[in-house]
Amino acid sequence: MRGKVGLEEHFAIPETLDDSRGFFPEHIWGELKARLLDLHDNRLRLMDEHGIEMMLLSLNAPVVQAIPDPARANDVARKANDYLAREIQKRPGRFQGLAALPMQDPDMAIRELDRSIRDLGFKGVLVNGFSQVGDADTVVYYDMPQYRPFWSVLEQLDVPFYLHPRNPLRRDARIYAGAEWLLGPSWAFGQETAVHALRLMGSGLFDEHPKLSIVLGHMGEGLPFSMWRVDNCNAWVEDRHSYPAKRKIADYFLENFYITTSGNFRTQALINAMLEIGADRIMFSTDWPFENIDHAAIWFDAADISENDRLKIGRTNAIDLFKLGLS
């Protein structure tokens, strides 16, 4: 399929590069480093070869979210966003941007959100999970009350929020001790992000701000498969669930969430997701440079789905959600 749009496609600037170093063996670092820093050479060649018309670019992880000092987090976010805006200007028909935000301070996050959308022309934001604030062991999740003004502004701007994974803090990762291979994208990323997303759903956020759009990668971080059980476990027990939200958790998942295929190139998983959340809420992505463009594109182009669904998932859903202006 030609004309695909990829939404979870990453880059780095020199100041953020080392945050990606620990996720791969050292002998791979040279290749990954080159991929992260490249925008207009090998990346573009691979896009052309595999039918990707546009990538929405976002900063590598965890980067800004792992900087406890809000002022420094803000400086790094602004520097990365300014760099990305300059690069997009070189090829706006091939690249658009998702903003990095200093979520450590909601007011700073609002200001950078507004600047990124109104002044830099970005199409949304991508945040790498929870943020560390003040010190390395203090974390914030975005269902907390202090973030309601941020969500209000995001809803007014009418742009999507991509909730991207990061590992749990070491103190919270004792279950992975002795099984560190489960950290990162193989398991811990998805578990951490799924719980964060469920917290948002149960917090009442979407009752207050029903027009919010949240995007999850990696075929929904396991949530399409598990959503029924979240709502229906121990169904014979009266008042089994107690949370601030007014409706079933699945209602918010179906109405406020979108998912992408980033890093999950499995047709059975795609069909399950289509049955659960619908083809109108799924979008193609590769997760470059951490996954291969050819692996994603060759799989998707041959996946056993209808051509109408392939067009929606591969292209038009993203154009509509992110207002990309492509024909």
Q: Which residues are catalytic?
A: 287
**Would you tell me how many other CB atoms lie within 10 Å of the CB of residue 87?**
16
Task: Give bridge partners of residue 259 from the DSSP assignment.
Answer: 216, 282
> Hey, what are 96's tokens?
């658009």
Vertex 302, ends 298 and 303: CA angle to 5°? Answer: 110
- Alpha carbon of 118 to those of 99, 104, 154, 218: distances in Å? 11, 21, 12, 29
Cis peptide bond prior to 289, omega within 30° of 0: yes
CA atoms of 139 and 161, how far apart (whole Å)? 19
Residue 312: partners with Cβ closer than 8 Å, 6 or more residues away:
279, 280, 282
Phi, psi dihedrals of residue 221, rounded to the nearest 5°:
55, 35
- Please calculate the CA angle 297-321-255 and round it to the nearest 5 degrees: 105
